[in-house]
Chains A and B, each alone.
Chain A
Amino acid sequence: MKPFSYERASSVEAAVRTVAATPGARFLAGGTNLLDLMKLEIEQPTHLVDVGRLPLGQIEATADGGLRIGAMTTNSQVAADARVRAAYPVLTQAIVAGGSAQLRNKATTGGNLMQRTRCSYFYDPSKPCNKRIPGSGCAALGSLAKAGAILGTSDHCIATNPSDMGVALAALGASIETLSADGATRSLTVGELHRLPGTTPQIETDLVVGEMITAVVLPPPPKGGQIYRKARNRASYAGGLASVAVAGGQIALGAVSLRPWRATRTEAALASGATPTEAVEAELAEARSEGRNPFKLALISRLAVAALTQAQGDAA
């Protein structure tokens, strides 16, 4: 790791002010992704502002019948919450499909959303990567890697967003609340948080420097069955090759794009009476396979159709 200074934030307001005012500063929550990348010197912050103990660790009911999940709740805490399990089972299923128990015990809700979108070439400093060094090229294009994205990609990046939790949040229509250094707060949907790569894949989210996620807000659960399905290389503790979250008529796909991919075309097709197969085909019409990953088209297609069929059966 490169040298850095460390401080524990005294308040959310102080944390966002410090990170905004200090070049090279970063928020540190659970640390499970940031410290890993710092060891590899892919991330080289000069100052860490530890926000892990800020009073954002609660899960509260909202007036409209949803839940507000504090950004510093742990992944394990959210997955185990009785209200989440009863009303948002797709969220619990997605969280426990990600990482290991040790990681979920440390990783936070806000940190999970802010983990780096990545591929194996991002992790390999001997290879060009437009996310690590803008303009250096993309070693993943045309490579032997099988994990590349197929939706919303560009000629500059085909990494995938690794979050399982984010896929469920996208399907549930969840929003994030943020605070900026000037005191401004705003709300944006989880689907809007991550940018598509275009020519600037190093910019992963819509947040500005010093802007911090303070909560994730779940609207009341949609009517209908909920399910999370994930396909991967091992039975446990492996990133997804493809995943799908279904919450009633709302669907999101994972491990196929640089963001949790809300499948709006599938949703529209289903709403007009299409079969699950037709509805998934509508979403994948513009999918772009690359090198060794054409299998992902078939995999995500079959997985999504199976999940939709199962969710419809559960709801019936």
Chain B
Amino acid sequence: MKTKITVNGQAHVLDLDARTTLLDGLREHLNLKGSKKGCDHGQCGACTVLVNGVRINACLSLVAMHDGDEVTTIEGIGTVGNLHPLQAAFLERDAFQCGYCTPGQICSAVGMIQEAAQNWPSQETGDLEAAIALTDAEIRERMSGNICRCSAYPQILEAIRDVVGGAA
């Protein structure tokens, strides 16, 4: 079935087997290999992309479900010559070893920062009616859907902290 989908600002019409996940559609049919397949079950976050600005696991969604949607992958976040501040911060802080989880980490962090700006709560949020302050505990909790097998978590936290500012 035909699905109209905009990825990183470019419109596409895909006509794929209904089983095709958004992740496989991006990687295998649009040749956007930045989004990674880790667990393929929504447990690791390596496939995280933004759909209409909101972060989701691309492995647990079908291309067919995204007719008319706007998807942003790591390829649309920044380029080598024009890095997104989070990409620059990840480089500066050495926030990875193997790098496999990094595209998902950065897409997730972009979504996370927007969620906090809209005052969405997390389980670390004490007063549900006060403005969200992105403490280190809040950032760790909000990024818990992204696993780093190399355990670069302290550097990932530092990189995100550099971008959102404020004290720990």
Which of A's residues lie within 8 Å of B, judged by CB? 1, 3-6, 8, 28, 31-32, 35-36, 39, 48, 50, 52, 76, 79-80, 85-86, 89, 92-93, 96-97, 99-103, 105-106, 235-237
Contact = CB atoms under 8 A, between A and B. Distances in A.
Contacts of B125: 96
Contacts of B140: 236
7 contacts: A36-B60, A96-B121, A97-B123, A100-B146, A102-B45, A105-B56, A236-B141
Interface string B53-78: 01111001110110100000000000
B119 interface: yes
Contacts of B144: 100-101, 235-237
Q: Interface of chain B, helix or strand or loop or mixed?
A: loop
B121 A85 contact: yes
B157 to A, nearest CB: 14
A102 B141 contact: no
A102 B67 contact: no
B167 interface: no
Given A106-B56, A106-B57, A39 B48 contact: no
A205 B121 CA distance: 31
Interface in B112-127: 112, 115, 118-123, 125
Which interface class (under 10, 10 to 19, 20 to 34, 35 or more) fits B? 35 or more
B11 interface: no
Interface string B121-156: 111010011000000000011101110000000000
A3 B42 CA distance: 21
Nearest to B119: A80
A124 to B, nearest CB: 14
A311 to B, nearest CB: 15
Contact of A106 (B61, B122, B146): B61
Given A76-B115, A102-B42, 15 more contacts: A4-B18, A31-B62, A31-B65, A35-B61, A35-B62, A36-B42, A50-B65, A76-B54, A79-B121, A101-B112, A102-B56, A105-B55, A105-B56, A106-B60, A236-B144
B18 A5 contact: yes
Contact of B41 (A1, A36, A89): A36
B158 interface: no
Contacts of A105: 54-56, 111
Interface centre among A35, A85, A101, A103 (most CB of B within 10 A): A101
A32 B60 contact: yes
Interface in B26-56: 40-42, 45, 48, 54-56
Contacts of B19: 1, 3-4
B120 A6 contact: no
B102 interface: no
A53 to B, nearest CB: 9
B145 A102 contact: yes
Nearest to B120: A80
